[in-house]
Amino acid sequence: MTATARDGAGVARAEDGRVVFVEGALPGETVSVEMLKVDRRWSRARVVRVLDPSPDRVPVPCTHQIEGCGGCDLLHVGESAQLRLKSSMVVDQLARLEIDAPDPARRSLDDDQGRTTVRAAVSDGRAGYRIRGSHDVVVPDSCDAVDPAAEQLLVDGRFGDASEITIRVGNRTGERLVLVEGSPFDIEVPDDVLVVGSADLKKGKRAWIHEEAGGRRWRVSARSFFQNRPAGVDALVDEVREMVDDLGADGPLVDAYAGVGIFAGTIGEGRTVHAIERGRDSIADARVNLDGDVKIIKSSVERWRPSPAAIVVADPAREGLGKDAVATLLRSEPQLFVLVSCDPSSFARDAGLLIDAGMRLDRFTVVDMFPGTSHVETVGAFVV
């Protein structure tokens, strides 16, 4: 294995030069594999036996992952090595696009209690995770990856004829909610848990919890986007604030893809802020979470009419900003553009667009928002 792909698979070369992506393999290892897919230019395989292990390899501590659970795909990598591996994934994507970038900083989470939003399939009334590459479900009897308040519902809850559920808990408030896809009847959870069906939400019912993160209290509705754990919100807010302070940007702020208002309500404090969001539930939460000095704009970023701003903070979905959104946001003529990205290839593509438009990548940090998995969160500061 010579490298790590953006999804955490090892990268090797076949004798004919074809790239082979090997699930469960680490750089420097020699492994025996089972081929899963063979294409004209690349192949995909998975490890059957490790012949010469990496010093970063550790025994997988979760029996459910060994059974095929698709939830955590880096448990075979030691904790101290995971963030280094993820950083290499981002660096590789930047290098592929020939982007001149500084060395990344790395940040782990403080006081992390696990994921507070859990999506699970339901099989015979029990919640569980899909097996990798399958619709079959692994029903766990424990899960160290999630917050204990969510784990209790995942393991002990009974969900009748529902097809899927989403568990959402406030780690620092104790509030809990279960969103049910399919039948909302015959649900057995503790009395403190708010249960709501997706059909009821479509009819206009509202349901939410509260969480405390980034030094504030937030309302978070059942379908609103919120980072997967409050410790992650703390880390992202700290990283963005440090970049804003260090790079001396002062003046109005645009919070693009604002969600429930995390950056508008923290970095934007004391500034004129335009918060752009198109999700109905997130906008409703933002109107509760943010004060009257923040102008909340219901729009896609691409359709927004730009206002002058010293700072743009953009936290798009996995597919990234794209050409049109970058062009729109840069019409605000920011001195500082902070990009928060949950995908290394999207981060690299958007970095290329910002650089082509005249900005420079001053610094970036890889944040371990998803321990035990190959998901990568990157925060980059671009300056004029």
CB 85 within 8 A of CB 1: no
Q: What is the pLDDT of residue 112?
A: 97
The DSSP string of 154-207 is HHH-EETTEEEEEEEE-TTT--EEEEEEE---SEE--TTEEEEEHHHHHTT---
Count of domains observed in the chain: 3
Q: Is 213 a residue whose pLDDT tops 90? A: yes
Cα 13 from chain centroid?
30
* Residue range 364-379: mean pLDDT, rounded: 96
Name the DSSP letter for residue 296: E
Q: Are residues 236 and 322 in the same domain?
A: yes
* Residue range 367-377: mean pLDDT, rounded: 95
Q: Is 15 a residue whose pLDDT tops 80? A: no
CB 241 within 8 A of CB 293: no
What distance, in Å, lies between the first and last C-alpha atoms of the chain? 39
Q: Are residues 138 and 174 in the same domain?
A: yes
Q: Is 32 a residue whose pLDDT tops 90? A: no
Task: Give the C-alpha separation, 17 to 242, whole Å.
Answer: 44
Task: Give the C-alpha separation, 223 to 360, whole Å.
Answer: 36
Q: Find the domain containing 163 and state its range.
A: 117-214
Relative to beta strand 42-52, strand 137-138 is unpaired
The CATH code of the domain that includes 8 is 2.40.50.140
Q: Are residues 258 and 376 in the same domain?
A: yes
Q: Confidence class of residue 362 from pLDDT cuts 50, 70 and 90? A: very high
Q: Confidence class of residue 134 from pLDDT cuts 50, 70 and 90? A: confident
Name the DSSP letter for residue 109: P
pLDDT, tens digit (0-9, with 9 covering 90-100), for 191-208: 999 999 999 999 999 999
Q: Are residues 104 and 177 in the same domain?
A: no
pLDDT, tens digit (0-9, with 9 covering 90-100), for 245-258: 999 889 999 999 99
Q: Are residues 105 and 125 in the same domain?
A: no
Rounded to the nearest integer, the mean pLDDT of the chain is 94
pLDDT, tens digit (0-9, with 9 covering 90-100), for 333-342: 999 999 999 9
Q: Confidence class of residue 66 from pLDDT cuts 50, 70 and 90? A: confident
Task: Give the C-alpha separation, 4 to 21, whole Å.
Answer: 9
Q: Are residues 364 and 263 in the same domain?
A: yes
For residue 356, give the H/E element and its range: helix 344-356
Q: Are residues 161 and 234 in the same domain?
A: no
Q: Which residue has the higher pLDDT, 156 or 293?
A: 156
Q: What is the pLDDT of residue 1?
A: 62
* Residue range 263-276: mean pLDDT, rounded: 96
pTM check: above 0.75:
yes
